[in-house]
Amino acid sequence: MKFNLVLASTSPFRQQLLQTLMLPFNCVNPDVDETAAKDETALALVKRLAEQKALAGANLIDQTSVPQLIIGSDQVAMINGQIIGKPNNIENAIAQLSAASGQAITFYTGLAVFNCDNQRMLSCVEPFTVHFKSLTEAQIRYYIDKEQPLYCAGSFKVEGLGIALFSRLEGDDPNTLIGLPLIRLIDLLAQHGVDVLSEASNNQSNNIGLKY
């Protein structure tokens, strides 16, 4: 199958993860309101946002005769029954890590792959639980100062110093915590007819006309 792959995200972490599949891809920046609807659950929120980002990404590219597969992803966490996302500032990051200290926190990553050719949307939600150590305020402030995780759900980067915050990780795919569950992504791509173990050398990824 010939296809163009597009990641609807400008996250460098998601881009680095997707590169490990050795499939050429382009990136677009979807403009999606990430506000949760009233009474919307964490699972429903990340699934909806992942799908909306994939659809928004589809609107940013010029359609070609080659099928376009658009990847959307979003992530939130639950702390004491409350949905949390990116802290965006130091004060919120301190509050998030203080609330998470000594707790088991589940992260939910929504993943969607949209085929522009046949309008088929496939999506899923992948959970991953992290068990935080009991952290002092000094440790929390030191970590935030060193890694500046202000645009990461939960206020940490597991691929960096953030690993020191945890006593245990629990889930199927640690890439989920970074924002792109690769095992599930490979499965969704397969359902769209793409085998990453045979398509990598045959993939046709043209320069796509992007609409900014």
State how far the Cα of 59 lies from the Cα of 42, in Å rounded to an integer.
Answer: 26
Q: In the chain, where do the E strands start and end?
A: 4-8, 26-28, 68-79, 82-84, 104-115, 120-132, 166-170
The question of whether 117 is a catalytic residue gets the answer: no
State how far the Cα of 132 lies from the Cα of 166, in Å rounded to an integer.
Answer: 4
Tokens of 20: 């490990």
The residue among 83, 86, 87 whose CA lies nearest residue 43 is: 83
The single residue of 74, 172, 187, 195 carrying the catalytic annotation is: 74
CB atoms under 10 Å from CB of 101, counted, come to 16
Question: To 5 degrees, how large is the angle CA 32–CA 128–CA 155?
Answer: 60
Tokens of 32: 């999606």
**Catalytic residue positions, numbered:** 74
